[in-house]
Copies of this chain bind each other. A is one copy, B any other.
Amino acid sequence: MKYFTGVDLGGTNTKIGILNENGEILIKKSIKTLSEKGIVITLKRIWQTIESLMDKKNIDKKNMCGIGIGIPGPVINQEIVGFFANFDWEVDINISKLMEKISGIQTKLENDVNMIAIGESMFGAGKGSASSITIALGTGIGGGIVINSKLISGINGAGGEIGHIKLVENGKLCGCGQKGCFEAYASATGIVREARSRLAINKKNLLYDSLKGNIEKLEAKDVFDCAKSGDEFSIEIVNYVGNYLGMGIGNLLNTINPEIIILSGGVALSGEILLEVVKKKLKQYALPITLKNLEIKLGELGNDAGIKGGIALFLTQ
């Protein structure tokens, strides 16, 4: 039996899992990333963890066939990182080669959302489909585009940076410094921002009551919960967000025409209430031919998607 390792390198925690060749996770562990110690020490700590997990499962090193690492930043050619979204690490270093030197195992890198996308495509919601777009709706919006089981990583690693397609000319300021980005409207941050801005002038609603006036405590989930309870104020915010989510997804459908859209991340967990608005709005934004036989599904792998992406890189890329 062959084995692979999937690593999801996060700003705070790093998730490491060992998989068999069928993509089943045999054992996994989360460690603190401690990025302040630098690249080399972090990679060594990851390799030590992999070794201890292999020991526990009696896996011989010679059967470990590849390590796939998801990186918070653009990855070029599956080996070089353009920049790190969260850390202060040096860029343009061949991390893949560095990890191969430390571990002796072939190593491939990918952007973390691309890892989720290829994981969902191969083992999750997109299983059996040749083309899918995974949209990670969380603090920001990330994307991963899979065509014929291969990622569109982009020449500088920015393939699938869909959170920054512009939906509104001169619109809301985004964290990237540009204006009118998809992410500024339909991410959790965007939802909270819109809700707070409305709450500043309208306090006669369930959402305000449920927060007991502490607007700073507001999370995207609160908006969805109140909308589900019938609060008109919150329903309007859901409609507002769903409209832009539909516009963004519609633009992707008209560009790529995939079989499946996979929604993952925290916002996607809001479930049917948001999805219903999106489906209605898509009729306004997507060409009818792109909606024919289109499936819109929630991600199925949760936090394991990135780890499963690790083996997917070796099986399909």
Given A158-B254, A289-B74, A247 contacting B169 (CB threshold 8 A): yes
Number of copies: 2
Interface flags, A74-102, vs B, CB<8A=1, else 0:
10000000110000000000000000000
A41 at the interface (CB under 8 A from B): no
Q: How far is the CA of A159 from the CA of B156 in the complex (A)?
A: 22
Given A161-B257, A166-B247, A166-B250, A156 contacting B74 (CB threshold 8 A): no
Q: Which of B156, B178, B247, B253 contacts A257, CB < 8 Å?
A: B156
Give the Cβ gap from A113 to chain B, nearest Cβ, in Å. Answer: 13
A112 at the interface (CB under 8 A from B): no
Contact between chains at A257 and B154 (CB < 8 Å): yes
Q: How far is the CA of A285 from the CA of B160 in the complex (A)?
A: 15
A49 at the interface (CB under 8 A from B): no
Interface size on A, residues (CB 8 A): 49
- Nearest CB in chain B to that of A160: its residue: B255
Q: How far is the CA of A189 from the CA of B158 in the complex (A)?
A: 32
Contact between chains at B256 and A289 (CB < 8 Å): no
Contact between chains at B293 and A156 (CB < 8 Å): yes
Selected A-B contacts with CB under 8 Å, 23 pairs: A130-B155, A131-B154, A145-B255, A145-B256, A152-B256, A152-B257, A153-B257, A154-B290, A155-B258, A156-B257, A156-B289, A156-B292, A156-B293, A157-B289, A158-B289, A159-B256, A161-B254, A162-B254, A166-B247, A166-B250, A166-B251, A169-B247, A178-B284
Residues of A within 8 A of B (CB): 74, 82-83, 130-131, 143, 145, 147-148, 150, 152-162, 164-169, 176, 178-179, 243, 247, 250-259, 284-285, 287, 289-290, 292-293
Q: 9 extra interchain contacts, Cβ-Cβ under 8 A, other than A131-B155, A145-B255, A159-B255?
A: A147-B152, A154-B290, A157-B289, A158-B289, A159-B257, A160-B255, A161-B290, A166-B285, A251-B251
